Amino acid sequence: MADHLMWSVAALLLLGAFHGVNPGMGWLFAVALGMQEQRRKAVWRAMLPLAVGHGLAIGTVVLLAGLMGALLPARALRVTVALMIVSLGAYRLVRQRHFRWRGMRVSMMGLTVWSFLMASAHGAGLMVLPVVLAATPQHPSDHGAHAGQVASAMSGAFATAVHGIGYLVATALAATVCYEVVGLTWLRKGWVNLDAVWGVALILTGVVALFTI
């Protein structure tokens, strides 16, 4: 049990870090905000709305999965989630969109909404779901059904918090390094589109989830 919990925590932290280092998930806008205001504090101030928006996106998907779990058998739910992840990954590979620098303007509220929408569009919540579902205990009895709902809610909240920590640390580190060392000038010239990497990661996550059910 302890080993399973440690594996789940490690997986959630790594997924959070993977989401955090993706420039399309927020740290690039934190750097842009710092450049606009010409101060380091602006970069750090952006961390809160980014983390809140990302956390809301993850929590929303986990909540929806919990509601679906009340209607579908556990195996059917996991297969459905795995197929959705693979489908979204394939879509991301086909419909790659490169980042555009013109017109970049950010505010705290706008950054929160943007973070929520980007995490949702990238399927960040779906990528986390297999870990959450694997960590949620099953309770087949009537009494256990209520306990299972409580356990599912607790597992979802815990998973969202742990994932958020990994995301926040990676985002803050990437934004700080870029602002202090790299700078936007180099990024404009050396920009690398990570949509293909993200698409492959989604497909691999879905395939692993499908064959480990």
Indicate whether 184 pLDDT > 90: no
Tell me: the pLDDT tens digits for 21-58? Answer: 888 788 888 887 888 788 888 899 999 999 999 999 99
**Where is 47: in which H helix or E strand?**
helix 47-69
Q: Rounded mean pLDDT of the chain?
A: 80
Q: Report the distance separating Cα 78 and Cα 61, nearest Å.
A: 13
Indicate whether 142 pLDDT > 50: no
What confidence category does residue 181 fall into, taking pLDDT thresholds of 50, 70 and 90? confident
Q: Report the distance separating Cα 194 and Cα 198, nearest Å.
A: 6
pLDDT at 140: 47
Tell me: the pLDDT tens digits for 79-132? Answer: 888 888 898 888 878 776 554 544 455 567 878 988 998 888 888 888 888 888
Backbone angles phi, psi at 134, to 5 degrees: -70, -30
Full domain range(s) for residue 117: 2-211
Supply the pTM of this predicted model.
0.80
Tell me: the pLDDT tens digits for 162-174? Answer: 999 999 999 999 9
**Nearest partner of 59 among 155, 157, 135, 151, judged by Cα:** 157
Q: How many domains does the chain have?
A: 1
Three-class DSSP category at 81: helix
Q: How far is CA 32 from CA 6, 102, 182, 188, 193, in A?
A: 36, 11, 13, 12, 18
Q: How far apart are the first and last CA of the chain?
A: 18
What confidence category does residue 200 fall into, taking pLDDT thresholds of 50, 70 and 90? confident
**Nearest partner of 134 among 77, 187, 72, 178, judged by Cα:** 77
Q: Report the distance separating Cα 211 and Cα 213, nearest Å.
A: 6
